[in-house]
Chain A
Amino acid sequence: MSIATAPADADHALIERCLTGDNAAWEQVVRLHSRRVYNLCLRFTGRPQDAEDLSQEVFLRLYRNLARYRAESGNFITWLTALTRNLLIDHYRRSRNDRRTDALDDKAEAAWPATTGTGGAGLDHLVWGREAQEYIQRALCRLSPELREVVILRDLQDMDYKSIAAALALPEGTVKSRINRGRIEMARLLRATLGTSVPSVKDPASAKGVQP
């Protein structure tokens, strides 16, 4: 989903209408943005139930803070992303204990058999298959929250560096380096999970898959 889909002016106009008590406008805001918020929560937590609860919380807070948004102005998506992210981080801290339990489960799962055809072939095949999607989600959830959030915003929500920096109130350089570290860490985790050894020197095929 592209960040640029909803014109900023349209968002502003909708919010104005919400603030006058226009329920239809509010419903439209929810319809326009709930999918995005839900998916952000879902990918960050890896749990549909949590994603649902958190999404509700996001829109509740949004509703209560519409006037503040108008006062602060700015890009609505950025603002909504910041709000969502703050709740996700709160949730992450609150559920630390649950997560420790999960970490044990994950360790057991790390011994999953490698999918067929992965031996030393690089990660190029990852895009395909439901199973691969699960590996990816699991790896995502093992990233530190600092890396996880930027990777999700960049690669899943297709936000550019600048928007991410604005939403997270971080310097752009920090965002860049976190995205890079996050992707590299993902690659490392996936290789470990899939049981492929990092191809040693040679293999011009892997070295070639780089975009010019």
Chain B
Amino acid sequence: MSTTLTCWECEAQLSEYRDGTLAAPSAASVRAHLQACAACGVLAADLNAVSAALGALPQMEPPPRLLAAILVQTAAPLGVPGSAGAARPYPAYPAWSWAGMRAVLFAPRFTLGVAMSVFAVALTINAAQLDLSHVSVADFTPASLAGSVLRQASRVWARGVSYYNDLRVVYEIEAALHQLRQNAPSPPRSEGAPPPAPRTTV
């Protein structure tokens, strides 16, 4: 009942054969060809191995800051024109503060994503009522986001994420940033490495 296939016809059906979507007679034809034709048999084995190997690639866990960044970016209410996720929704600060902080904080490679996770961290700190005088701008370098001084913040990270959903988020972030700014060094000097932690400023 199975028809004889050419190699080309067999090859064209190998994936469907593997995925089990061929009707029984077609599957039988492919099976018969594979038993008879070594070249197609090898190809089929390779194809199966590739498919299995792809399926076995691990699911990677997205970095925690991704969730925070998404939530912060989408924190503005739906339907407010230009608000949701605008790259710089806080235009009111003097140029030296936010723009300057950003210049210090972020190497060119770190763009919106890291900026937004800084917002989230600032907010978390604020939400947890941590003592901001112990937090300096230098602590917001990407490398230290995961640990160091902000360990305490990251412990309440989950709580913070839920918390800021209940707030008028934008204003909350502004408040957190305002406090951060008071702890930040005065006009940044260079775009190089972050300055030493100004722990004595407050």
Contacts and interface: CB of A to CB of B under 8 A. Distances in A.
Contacts of B18: 211
Contacts of B57: 43, 133, 136-137, 156
Contacts of A117: none
A184 B49 CA distance: 10
Contact of B55 (A48, A158, A204, A210): A158
Nearest to A202: B38
Given A43-B57, A179-B15, 18 more contacts: A23-B75, A23-B165, A23-B166, A27-B71, A34-B70, A48-B60, A123-B46, A123-B53, A124-B45, A132-B53, A156-B54, A156-B57, A177-B12, A183-B14, A203-B42, A207-B34, A209-B49, A211-B17
B66 A55 contact: yes
A91 interface: no
A56 B112 contact: yes
Contacts of A171: none
Contacts of B55: 155-156, 158
Contacts of B45: 122-124, 206-210
Q: Give the contact-size bracket for chain B.
A: 35 or more
A115 interface: no
Interface of A: 1, 18-19, 21, 23-24, 26-27, 30-31, 34-35, 38-39, 42-43, 48-49, 51-53, 55-56, 59-60, 63-64, 66, 122-124, 126-127, 132-133, 136-137, 140, 151-152, 154-156, 158, 161, 176-177, 179-180, 183-184, 186-187, 190-191, 198-199, 201-204, 206-212
Interface stretch (B77-85, B143-151, B181-189): B77-85
B152 interface: no
B126 interface: no
Contacts of A152: 54
Q: Which of B48, B70, B111, B166 has the most CB of A within 10 A?
A: B70
Nearest to B86: A60
B191 to A, nearest CB: 20
Nearest to B56: A127
B196 interface: no
A161 B77 CA distance: 37
Interface in B50-78: 50-63, 66-67, 69-71, 73-75, 77-78
Nearest to B20: A211
Instruction: State the majority secondary structure of interface residues on A.
Output: helix
B185 to A, nearest CB: 28
22 contacts: A21-B78, A24-B165, A27-B165, A34-B66, A35-B62, A38-B62, A39-B60, A49-B109, A52-B113, A53-B111, A53-B112, A126-B52, A140-B54, A154-B19, A155-B54, A156-B54, A177-B12, A180-B11, A183-B47, A186-B50, A187-B43, A211-B17
